[in-house]
């Protein structure tokens, strides 16, 4: 999995690309979120536009990141889901948990 | 398309997550030029990943020396996977529903749910040595490209 990090104001945008699957991207995603928290970034946006595949471990890690950020007083939101990932979030009911945006500006503005 | 069905393969794998990619390559090779289209192949690849990950993590408890037997069969109408581990066995009826509100924030427990969403048949049985055998079937050409709900 590849990643790109960008800060806009106090929002950390983590753009992920490739696979978020067991033993590979899932761990990398967690490390990026942990690093953001360690750097004091509590408003985190995961941009998933270029994620090709996600499995149950990747989804589980995303949920784990969400709860970790919330426990630390922050918010983790999702940006630009591919149709496949949107489908997975729908069937797992996790679409009711995550705030999801198609537009980056709108997503940034949504952080309180 | 010219196809030579059935096509079969059997792999004996150690319990390492790296072996999931090995198994994926074998499945792709087997399906190339078969009756299995890309959408069905994507489904079966996802289910294969979930089945092997479960066998490695929950069945064989990440003990690399424990083996996993993978059998793949591709016919003109079905792709069938059989994954057997060397674990203690388990009762799939005891796995909580990951879509229940109280389970939504659990970090694990979605693998079997994924397999059931992706495949037309998911069946668990006890292996002769005491482990678990899961059989996964995808009926070729019967899906519309989206994950189907049961």
Give the integer Cα–Cα distance in Å for B37 and B41.
6
CATH code of the domain covering residue A62: 3.30.750.24
B147 in A contact zone (CB under 8 Å): yes
Give the integer Cα–Cα distance in Å for A61 and A23.
11
Closest-CA residue to B95 (of B128, B54, B56, B61): B54
Q: Which token pair is B42?
A: 């994507």
Decide if pLDDT at A112 tops 60. yes
Residue B96 lies in a domain: yes
Residue A107 lies in a domain: no
Structure confidence by residue, pLDDT tens digits, A60-106: 999 999 999 999 999 999 999 999 899 999 999 999 999 999 999 99
Tally of structural domains, chain B: 1
* Better-predicted residue by pLDDT, A112 or B57: B57
For residue A69, the distance in angstroms to the closest alpha carbon of chain B comes to 13
Decide if pLDDT at B145 tops 70. no
pTM of the model: 0.90
Give me the domain span that covers residue B97: 7-139
Residue B74 lies in a domain: yes
CA–CA–CA angle B3, B5, B9 (5° rounding): 120
Residue B147 lies in a domain: no
Residue A111 lies in a domain: no
B53 in A contact zone (CB under 8 Å): yes
Q: What is the ipTM of this complex?
A: 0.89
Residue A112 lies in a domain: no
User: Collapsing DSSP states into helix, strand and coil, what is residue B31?
Assistant: helix
CATH code of the domain covering residue B19: 3.30.565.10
Give me the domain span that covers residue A47: 2-102
Structure confidence by residue, pLDDT tens digits, B66-110: 999 999 999 989 999 999 999 998 888 899 999 999 999 999 999
Structure confidence by residue, pLDDT tens digits, A27-37: 899 999 999 99
Residue A60 lies in a domain: yes
Residue B52 lies in a domain: yes
Q: Which residue in chain B is spatially nearest to A53 when comparing CA positions?
A: B46
pLDDT band at B1 (very low <50, low <70, confident <90, very high): very low
Give the per-residue pLDDT at B2.
45
Residue B144 lies in a domain: no
């Amino acid at each position: 999995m590849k990643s790109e990090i960008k800060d806009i104001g106090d929002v950390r945008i983590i753009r992920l690309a490739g696979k978020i699957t067991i033993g590979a991207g899932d761990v990398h995603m967690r490390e990026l979120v942990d690093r953001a928290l360690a750097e004091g970034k509590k408003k985190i946006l995961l941009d998933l536009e270029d994620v090709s595949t996600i499995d149950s471990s990747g989804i589980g890690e995303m949920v784990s990141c969400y709860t970790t950020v919330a426990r630390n007083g922050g918010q983790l939101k999702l940006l630009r889901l591919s149709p496949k990932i949107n489908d997975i979030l729908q069937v797992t009911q996790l679409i009711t948990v995550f705030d999801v945006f198609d537009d980056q500006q709108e997503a940034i503005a949504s952080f309180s | 398309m010219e196809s030579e069905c059935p096509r079969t393969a059997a792999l004996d794998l150690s319990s390492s997550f790296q072996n999931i990619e090995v198994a994926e390559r074998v499945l792709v090779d087997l399906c190339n030029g078969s009756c299995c289209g890309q959408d069905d192949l994507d489904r079966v690849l996802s289910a294969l990943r979930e089945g092997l990950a479960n066998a490695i993590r929950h069945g064989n408890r990440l003990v690399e020396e424990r083996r996993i037997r993978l059998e793949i069969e591709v016919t003109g109408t079905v792709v069938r996977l059989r994954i057997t581990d060397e674990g203690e066995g388990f009762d799939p009826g005891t796995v909580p529903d990951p879509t229940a509100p109280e389970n939504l924030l659990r970090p694990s427990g979605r693998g079997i749910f994924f397999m059931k969403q992706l495949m037309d048949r998911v069946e668990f049985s006890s292996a002769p040595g005491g482990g678990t055998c899961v059989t996964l079937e995808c009926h070729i050409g019967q899906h519309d490209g989206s994950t189907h709900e049961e």
